Amino acid sequence: VIDLMKDLVDEFHMGIIFITHDLGVVAQTCDRVNVMYLGRLIEEGPVREVIRNPKHPYTQGLIAALPKLDNLDQSLTAVPGDIPSPLERPSGCVFNTRCSQIVG
């Protein structure tokens, strides 16, 4: 399916908005990435730049959660903490209830 989408982009000179939690697929198929958490944009940029040098702790957590192909027996790493209700978003950065880098 992804190859078909890439072919359509090339053939019709169009763009696609691709929504996924799989940053591995994003790295292989997209030019730019927008990372969202609780419906808020928290990081954006060229895929290679965001994957290689993530600025936001949530993006860092997503990348750390990717399976390591050289050690498939290793347990997956989860982003720590509980997801707050999107109906009662935290004030400030919406990731602050799960963030290990919170200041204050």
Q: pLDDT by residue (tens digit) across 18-65?
A: 899 888 889 888 999 999 999 999 999 999 999 999 999 999 999 988
Q: What is the pLDDT at residue 104?
A: 57
Q: What's the confidence (pLDDT) of residue 102? A: 73
CA distances (Å), origin 27, targets 62, 73, 89: 12, 23, 29
φ, ψ of residue 62 to 5 degrees: the values are: -60, -40
Note the pTM of the prediction, 2 decimals: 0.83
Q: Which two tokens stand for residue 20?
A: 């996924």
Cβ-based neighbours of 90, under 8 Å, separated by 6 or more: 84, 96, 97
Full residue range of the structural domain in which residue 98 is found: 1-104
Domain count, the chain: 1
Mean pLDDT of 67-88: 86
